[in-house]
Amino acid sequence: MGRSNHLYYCWLFVVLTASGIKLLTMTEDSRCEIAPLPPGPVRSLRSTSAAEEEISYYPSNCLAQPDYKKPTLILMVLSKFPKMKSPQAIIHLSSSSRISVLFYGLAIICLSSATVTASYGGNETDYHALLSFKSMITHDPYKVLTAWNHSFHFCDWSGISCGKRHKRVTALRLFSKSLEGSLSPHVGNLSFLRKLSLPNNNFQGTIPHELGRLSRLRILYLYDKKFSGAIPTNLSGCSNLEHLWLNQNMLAGSIPKEMSLLSKLTHLVIEDNMLTGGIPPFLGNITSLEVFSAVANPFGGRIPDTLGLWKSLKLFYSGGCNLYGNIPPSIFNLSLLVEFSLPANHLTSIPSEIGNQLPNLERLQLRDNKLTGVIPPYISNCSKLILLEMSSNSFTGKLTIDFSNLRDIKYILLDDNNFHGRGEADDMRFIDSLKNCTRLEELSLFNCNLIGVLPISIGNLSDQLRDLSLRDNPLFGSLPSSIGSLVGLTTLELGRNRFKGKIPTTIGKLQKLELLDLHSNQFSGSIPDVIGNLSLLIKLNLDSNKLEGHIPSSLGNCKKLNGLSLAYNRLTGKIPKQLLQLPSLTILLNLSQNSLSGTIPSEIKELKMLSHLDLSYNNLTGTITSSLGECISLTMLNLSGNIFQGMIPSSLSSLRGLEVLDISQNNLSGKIPQFLDKWRLLEFLNISFNDFEGEVSVVGVFANASAFSVLGNNRLCGGLVTLELPKCKEMGSMKKRFPLFVLLILIAPTLLVILCCVYLFYKKKHNIQESKSLGNERFLKVSYNELLKATDDFSTENLIGEGGFSSIYRGILNSDDKFVAVKVLQLQNQGAYKSFQAECEAWRNIRHRNLLKIITSCSSVDFQGNDFRALVYEFMPNGSVHNWLHSSANTSKLNLLQRINILRDVATALDYLHNHCQTTIVHGDLKPSNILLDDDMVAHVGDFGLARLLGTDLIQNSSSGFKGTIGYTPPEYGIGSEMTSSGDVYSFGILLLEVMTGKRPTDNMFNEGLNLHKFAYMALPDHVVDVIDDDAIVLQSMEANAKKVEECLAATIQIGVSCSMDSPPQRMKMEIVVNELQHILEVLQNI
């Protein structure tokens, strides 16, 4: 090679191996010399030649030696050395060989920095990305990430998988580890990652947009977390993504258009978020999609026709998405479709040809929509169908599906529709076609207006049938004995029909039956003894029939029975002891309104866990058994309308949990037991029409005149002044023997104290008393008979409303021939007396143009001697806001100005009650049905049945009792907080949102974390129009006007959201609400 004779060429290699750091030399004659790096201080080496260094060739013959099969670092340098006798000299650093200081320094630096690099095969990026992931975890309860340190190679860390070839991270899986924190954006540096699975943890914050760098990613599982913000647009960079699961988070905004670039996506699961903006048409471009689930997102909008491009689609779920309009026909051409679910939306129609192109369909779920017309008969072509659920729609016409083709069907749920065949008497003929459905488990057709006879072929249904519900239909005729062939039944509901004849004895063959409901029919004859064979029976309801004879003692064999109602029949004989020896009876035993005789058996003491016992209106005799005192779980006891005599047994004092006790209309005597006024939970006591004597207490339940009744007991005395009972007589003999001067000494100071108290009380309360007297002057006096005539005997034609405690009738009083509204309290309902008192106290102190005007009240007895309470109000011809919003009878709807005016009126009324009355009044039950409209559509707040006057003792509200109406009640009431004006503000906020969106707070779409408040909040500020009731929006011709309207809508919704915050201190003040609504109203009026 033309090299000089005086120079000796040598290649020097610094090698890091498994056995340590070594130096390797190779001379020109390819001889290798190996030596370990010597210990000791580093010495300077100099080259005696200035010749250039050059890299020659790779010494493979040296590196093939066993110790160098897997070198991790090689520094190869060619240097020119003076020729020596032995090449060994250049190995030892203590020799006189001269090597460049630069070279050796470089070698040492590389060796020191290579320690980490060598350990991770050069994949420092993955290592640091994982450490960054760990650093952003704030809580690791299971110590999953403790082993994520330098002691182990990261490929051996928990939850990490690496490729065999490159040792790069290919999967990060940490399922259900309860990790808390945020997701590090450095995860986007794991460039070889194919699977990122972090479900069921507690990550917060946004999804890092850096994930879009993961071009190799195929599976992304980020569900069951608390991620918020929008779906990152650059997820489209994950070009190989096949599974995208972002469900059960708090993601908001719309689906980004870039999502359509994921051409390999097969699973898109985004359910249970807060996404809006509708299901976008561009999603149809992802033609590879097999699974799409967007359940429980407030999308709104229509279903795009482009989804028909998903030719590979198998599963489609979009329930509770606020979708409306028609279901596009193109979707029903997807021949691979297996499950199609769109419940709880506002869809109005489906294609009549549905079923023709769906040979693989197994589940069709369209319940709780507004679908009309006839259920398409072509559904019978879906021969693989397992579930057919179309309940709670507006389908009409005869049910014409040929079920004989649906041999795999398990669930047919079509309840709450109208399948009457318009005059035809064979609405039930479809039953015949069900005999081939041998796998049928549930058939639900309640409240479907099915008219006809239940055919004998009902017995041909599958022996796998578990639930059969045909209640609330006008079915007539007898119940076929073939019903006994359905031996798999656990639930049989046939209540509220018109069945006649006897209950078939074959019903005793239904050994698996747990619930049997035949109430409100016209069954006659005796109760079959064979019902006692139903040993698994939990609930039996036979009330409101024409059943006769004895109660079968065989019912004592139903050892799991917890609820039994045989009320309103014609049963005779004694109460069987066997029935009272069922400790399983815990919920209800109702034998009322029959003709049972004899005494109450002492075995009743076995019912220690029973809550409700009603034996009223029978012919029971004797004394009230002391054994009742052992039924310590009773909350309601009704023994009225019998022939009991004697005293109230002292053993009843142990029934401290009683809320209602009614022993009226018997022959009971003696004094009223003192323990009755010590029961703190007692809400209503009725001992009227007996023969009690002595003094009536004025404490406990006896302190509230509307909470008890003692009418028809002529020997009672004392009590509240309003009872108008005679004063109790004093003991005269004691009076005579008492010295007069002692009386004077005792009486004089007492009189002085009383006079002082009266003076102070009058000085403090004279304004309120004056108000009350004025209030009493303006009320007319009206009798029960006058109200009876005014309402035409309280006829159903005049019934205009019903509530929890009352019924409201329209009537005309003779005094001025003007229409009035008569609110009759249903005193048999628990809490009705308290409601009456609350309303009377509230109306006595208030008067406002936006409050319902009361004309008078009536406290009397009816012609049967029962207590009667009623309130008479000014009649509101335009009905309630609830009817305007939700009743199909109202063809006209409220426009935007009317809605804002109503809300302003209600807010003004609440502001008056909270801030401008002498005593703050809390309404307690604000909802659309309590807002009434007069001739001029001015709103009036009514129904103060739950009202409370703050700062007084006029109304006592139990903190443990439920207040208000579900959906409108603030959350703090649910945990026992007292009623406050802030609670009214919350109810107003919900009312406002309902008025503006047209959606009830109890709508089916609101579940699993979504409620009306959140639904409205998510629409702010740019998507408010999407949630506003269509009838409220008036299209404006000018863009500027439209923008103003949208701003007003957003401002109104913001008020509703601010008022309905969970935290009371965060809610708006009502006076601010009035000003804001007034401003919005002025803006709208000037457009």
Q: What is the 3-state secondary structure (H, E, C) of 520-559?
A: CCEEEEECCHHHHHCCCCCEEECCCCEEEECCCHHHHHCC
Asked whether the predicted pLDDT for residue 246 surpasses 90, the reply is yes
Residue 682 shares a structural domain with residue 620: yes
Asked whether the predicted pLDDT for residue 251 surpasses 70, the reply is yes
The pLDDT value recorded for residue 745 is 58
Give percent above pLDDT 90 in the chain. 57
Residue 869 shares a structural domain with residue 902: no
Asked whether the predicted pLDDT for residue 1003 surpasses 90, the reply is no
The pLDDT value recorded for residue 815 is 59
User: With contact defined as beta carbons under 8 Å apart, do 963 and 1020 qualify?
Assistant: no
Residue 750 shares a structural domain with residue 796: no
Where does residue 322 fall: left (phi above 0), alpha (psi -120 to 50 degrees), or beta otherwise? Answer: left
User: With contact defined as beta carbons under 8 Å apart, do 998 and 1026 qualify?
Assistant: no
Asked whether the predicted pLDDT for residue 173 surpasses 90, the reply is yes
Start-to-end CA span in the chain (Å): 99
Consecutive H or E run containing 1048:
helix 1039-1059
Asked whether the predicted pLDDT for residue 775 surpasses 50, the reply is no
- Could you report the per-residue pLDDT of 474-504, keeping only the tens digit for each? 899 999 999 999 999 999 999 999 999 999 9
In a domain, 214, yes or no: yes
Distance CA 915, CA 365 (A): 51
Is 823 annotated in a binding site? The answer is yes
Asked whether the predicted pLDDT for residue 412 surpasses 70, the reply is yes
The pLDDT value recorded for residue 829 is 72
* 894 vs 918, residue with greater confidence: 894
Q: What's the rounded mean pLDDT across residues 983-991? A: 94
Query: Among 119, 138, 155, where does a domain finish?
Result: 119
Distance CA 187, CA 130 (A): 7
Asked whether the predicted pLDDT for residue 838 surpasses 70, the reply is no
User: With contact defined as beta carbons under 8 Å apart, do 988 and 995 qualify?
Assistant: no
Asked whether the predicted pLDDT for residue 963 surpasses 90, the reply is no
Reference 684, options 535, 465, 532, 833; nearest CA is: 833
In a domain, 994, yes or no: yes
* 729 vs 343, residue with greater confidence: 343
925 is catalytic: yes
Q: Which residue has the tokens 């003999």?
A: 733
Q: Which residue has the tokens 């194919």?
A: 194
Using only C-alpha atoms, the chain has a radius of gyration, in whole angstroms, of 42
The pLDDT value recorded for residue 201 is 92
What single-letter amino acid sits at 568? Y
Asked whether the predicted pLDDT for residue 1029 surpasses 60, the reply is yes
Residue 616 shares a structural domain with residue 681: yes
In a domain, 856, yes or no: yes
Q: Which residue has the tokens 């109306």?
A: 843
User: With contact defined as beta carbons under 8 Å apart, do 904 and 849 qualify?
Assistant: no
- Taking residue 509's Cβ as centre, other Cβ atoms within 10 Å add up to 18
Helix (H, G, I), strand (E, B) or coil at 197: strand
What CATH number did the domain enclosing 1065 receive? Answer: 1.10.510.10
In a domain, 929, yes or no: yes
The pLDDT value recorded for residue 756 is 59
Reference 273, options 303, 313, 229, 317; nearest CA is: 229
The pLDDT value recorded for residue 38 is 42
Residue 892 shares a structural domain with residue 1034: yes
Name the DSSP class of 1017.
Answer: H
The pLDDT value recorded for residue 238 is 96
In a domain, 413, yes or no: no
Name the DSSP class of 93.
Answer: T
- Between the alpha carbon of residue 446 and those of residues 91, 311, 403, 431, 1000, the distances in Å are 97, 37, 18, 14, 24
The phi, psi pair for 1064, rounded to 5°, reads -55, -40
The string of DSSP codes covering 724-755 is: -PPPPPP-HHHHHHS-HHHHHHHHHHHHHHHH
Helix (H, G, I), strand (E, B) or coil at 103: helix
Q: Which residue has the tokens 């340098």?
A: 77
pTM greater than 0.85: no
Distance CA 655, CA 342 (A): 51
Q: Where are the alpha helices (DSSP H) in 603-739?
A: 732-737
* 609 vs 873, residue with greater confidence: 609
In a domain, 471, yes or no: no
- Could you report the per-residue pLDDT of 180-194, keeping only the tens digit for each? 999 999 999 999 999
Asked whether the predicted pLDDT for residue 365 surpasses 90, the reply is yes
Helix (H, G, I), strand (E, B) or coil at 29: coil
Q: What's the rounded mean pLDDT across residues 260-266? A: 96
- pLDDT confidence bin for 1005, thresholds 50/70/90: confident
Asked whether the predicted pLDDT for residue 873 surpasses 60, the reply is yes
Q: Which two tokens stand for residue 164?
A: 């065999």
Residue 903 shares a structural domain with residue 1045: yes
The pLDDT value recorded for residue 783 is 79
The pLDDT value recorded for residue 744 is 54
User: With contact defined as beta carbons under 8 Å apart, do 704 and 837 qualify?
Assistant: yes
Number of domains in the chain: 7
The pLDDT value recorded for residue 718 is 92
Q: Which residue has the tokens 């009872």?
A: 723
Asked whether the predicted pLDDT for residue 214 surpasses 60, the reply is yes
Handedness of CA 361, 365, 371, 373 (dihedral sign): positive
Reference 1027, options 1053, 1063, 990, 1001; nearest CA is: 1053
- Between the alpha carbon of residue 635 and those of residues 638, 647, 656, 687, the distances in Å are 10, 21, 9, 17
User: With contact defined as beta carbons under 8 Å apart, do 514 and 539 qualify?
Assistant: yes
Q: Which of 126, 416, 614, 925 is catalytic?
A: 925
The pLDDT value recorded for residue 827 is 77
Q: Which two tokens stand for residue 18?
A: 């498994």
- Indicate the range of 317-321, 857-861, 1077-1081 predicted with least confidence: 857-861
Consecutive H or E run containing 1077:
helix 1070-1085
Consecutive H or E run containing 843:
helix 832-844
The pLDDT value recorded for residue 797 is 83
Structural domain including 760 reads: 739-770
Q: What's the rounded mean pLDDT across residues 555-571? A: 95
- Indicate the range of 634-638, 959-963, 1006-1010 predicted with least confidence: 959-963
The pLDDT value recorded for residue 44 is 33
The pLDDT value recorded for residue 35 is 44
- Could you report the per-residue pLDDT of 736-774, keeping only the tens digit for each? 444 544 455 556 666 666 665 555 555 444 333 333 333
* 43 vs 992, residue with greater confidence: 992
Distance CA 813, CA 671 (A): 42
Distance CA 270, CA 282 (A): 16
- Could you report the per-residue pLDDT of 794-807, keeping only the tens digit for each? 888 888 877 767 88
Give percent above pLDDT 70 in the chain. 79
Distance CA 561, CA 576 (A): 15
Q: What's the rounded mean pLDDT across residues 448-477? A: 93
In a domain, 332, yes or no: no
- Between the alpha carbon of residue 7 and those of residues 28, 30, 168, the distances in Å are 11, 16, 46
The pLDDT value recorded for residue 920 is 82
- Between the alpha carbon of residue 339 and those of residues 360, 401, 689, the distances in Å are 9, 19, 64
Asked whether the predicted pLDDT for residue 910 surpasses 70, the reply is yes
Residue 635 shares a structural domain with residue 616: yes
DSSP count for the chain of H helices, then E strands: 14, 60
Asked whether the predicted pLDDT for residue 653 surpasses 90, the reply is yes
Residue 799 shares a structural domain with residue 675: no
Residue 921 shares a structural domain with residue 891: yes
Asked whether the predicted pLDDT for residue 79 surpasses 60, the reply is no
- Could you report the per-residue pLDDT of 529-558, keeping only the tens digit for each? 999 999 999 999 999 999 999 999 999 999
The pLDDT value recorded for residue 1031 is 80
In a domain, 801, yes or no: yes
The pLDDT value recorded for residue 95 is 37
- pLDDT confidence bin for 427, thresholds 50/70/90: confident
Residue 949 shares a structural domain with residue 974: yes
User: With contact defined as beta carbons under 8 Å apart, do 35 and 23 qualify?
Assistant: yes
How far is CA 344 from its chain centroid?
14
- pLDDT confidence bin for 574, thresholds 50/70/90: very high
Query: Among 836, 852, 874, where does a domain finish?
Result: 874
Residue 188 shares a structural domain with residue 86: no
Residue 583 shares a structural domain with residue 604: no
Helix (H, G, I), strand (E, B) or coil at 373: strand
The pLDDT value recorded for residue 90 is 36
What CATH number did the domain enclosing 228 receive? Answer: 3.80.10.10
Q: Which two tokens stand for residue 823?
A: 């609110």
Asked whether the predicted pLDDT for residue 411 surpasses 80, the reply is yes
Helix (H, G, I), strand (E, B) or coil at 341: strand
Distance CA 944, CA 910 (A): 12
What CATH number did the domain enclosing 838 receive? Answer: 3.30.200.20
- Could you report the per-residue pLDDT of 88-97, keeping only the tens digit for each? 433 333 333 4
The pLDDT value recorded for residue 922 is 86
- Taking residue 738's Cβ as centre, other Cβ atoms within 10 Å add up to 11
Mean of the per-residue pLDDT values for the chain? Answer: 82
Query: Among 554, 587, 620, where does a domain finish?
Result: 587
